[in-house]
Amino acid sequence: MFIPFGIYSKNDVIKPKRDFVPAGVELVMSPIELIDADHNRVKLSNGQTLVYDFLVVATGAQIHPEQTPGLQEHEWRKTIHEFYTIEGALALAKHLRNWQGGRMVVNVVENPIKCPVAPLEFIMLADSYFHGQGIRDKVEIIYATPLPGAFTKPIASRHLGDILDKKNIKVVPEFMVMEVEPDAKKIVSYDEQEVNYDLLVSVPLNMGSEAVGRSGLGDDLNFIPVDKHTLVSPRYPNMFVLGDAAAIPTSKAGSVAHFAVESFSENFLRYIDGLELLPSFDGHANCFIESGFGKGLLIDFNYDTEPLPGHYPLPGVGPFSLLQETEMNHWGKLMFRWMYWNLLIKGQELPLPARMTMAGKWKN
C-alpha cells in the first residue's frame, strides 16, 4: 500500500525466506495439489506426499480480478490498477508519477478482503500524496464500497464518520459491482448504479487457496470453516486453520493472524497432551490506519466488542490514542514495520496480550 506513493520500495517488502526459517524446520517449496484430510496426507505438485499427524493450514487469501467481468481486460495495469500485489503496486506507482489528475475511484468488489481498512488508508494517503504533488484540486476521489459506509460500527462511525468528508472524499455506499466497462471507464453495480472514473483502483474479490477448493474443505470462497474460538475444523479434529485461510467472523488482518497464532500455540500443546481445547481466541484485532499528512488512527476490537475510544496499550496514557487522528499513531504504523521483520516473523513474543483487554477503553 505504501509503494504507490513512493514511501516504500520493492526491497522494503521482500526478504529472503531463509532469514526467517528456524533451525530444525524442513522447508518444502512446492504448490499444493491436494489436501487429503481423510487419509492425513498432503499431495504436492512436485510429486511428493507429506503424511501428517496434525495439520495447520495457513494458505491465506489471494485476489481474483478475473472473477469480475471487465476488470482484468485490456485496461488492466493501464487505467485499472490494484495494490495488493508487488506487480500491481509497482505499476500503480509508475502510473501515479505521471498522472495529471481526474476522477480516481477506489472500489471494493466484495468482502471479506485482506486488511479491511487498507482501501480507506489508500484513499487518505492518496489525498495527502496529491496535495504534495500540487494537484489535489485537479483530483476527485471516490470510494465505492459494498458496505453501508466507510465506518460501519456505530461508535467508530460517530468518532470518525466525517473524516473522509473533511478530506473531500466522496463515499458511494452499498455499491455491489457487477461489471467494469473499461472502454466507457465506468463500474456498474447489480442495481444498475454507475460510477465513472479516469483511474480505477480496485480491491478485487479475495478468495482462499484453490488447493482448498480442490480438496473440498472450504466454503464458496475457499475459506475453511473452523470453531471461531479454538480454530479447529469441525470435520477433522486434527486440522487447525490460522490466518486468512479460516472462515471466522473477524477481520482478515495481520494482527488477527498474530493473536490467533499466540492463542493456538498454547492450545495446541494442550491438544497433543490429550487435554480439552480451550476457547481461547476472541477474534482480537487491532489496526493502525494511515490517514495522511503524517497522522494515523488506531482501532482495537474483537468478536464481541466494537472499536472503542481510549488509549492503547497502557491504560490512561497510551501512548496510542484509539479512534483519534494523531501523529503518534502514524509513527506506530511505521514502527510496526521494524517489529514485523525483527520480532513477529521470527516468532518473538510481543509484550501485548493475545486477548483483547478493556483497560484504557471508554464505553461510549
Task: Give the whole-angstrom CA distance, residue 267 versus residue 263.
Answer: 6
Cell 472503542 belongs to residue: 308
Beta-carbon contacts of residue 73 (< 8 Å; ≥ 6 apart): 180, 182
- Flag whether pLDDT at 314 surpasses 80: no
Q: What is the pLDDT of residues 102-125, one digit of tens each?
A: 999 999 999 999 999 999 999 999
**pLDDT number for residue 60:** 97
Q: By the 8 A CB rule, do 164 and 150 touch?
A: yes
Residue 228 falls inside a structural domain: yes
Does the predicted model carry a pTM greater than 0.85? yes
CATH number at residue 55: 3.50.50.60
Split at pLDDT 50, 70, 90, the class of 336 is confident
Tell me if 197 is assigned to some domain. Answer: yes
pLDDT of residue 349: 79
Pairing of strands 169-172, 139-144: parallel
Residues 310 and 262 in one domain: no
Q: What is the pLDDT of residues 200-242, one digit of tens each?
A: 999 999 999 999 999 999 999 999 999 999 999 999 999 999 9
**89 and 196 part of one domain:** yes
Give residue 364's pLDDT band: very low, low, confident or very high (50, 70, 90): low
Contact 321, 300 (CB under 8 A): no
Please tell me the total count of domains within the chain: 3
Say yes or no: 70 and 164 in one domain: yes
Q: ∠ CA 172-138-132 to the nearest 5 degrees?
A: 100
Distance in angstroms (rounded) separating the CA atoms of residues 170 and 341: 36
Q: Say if 1 falls within a structural domain.
A: no
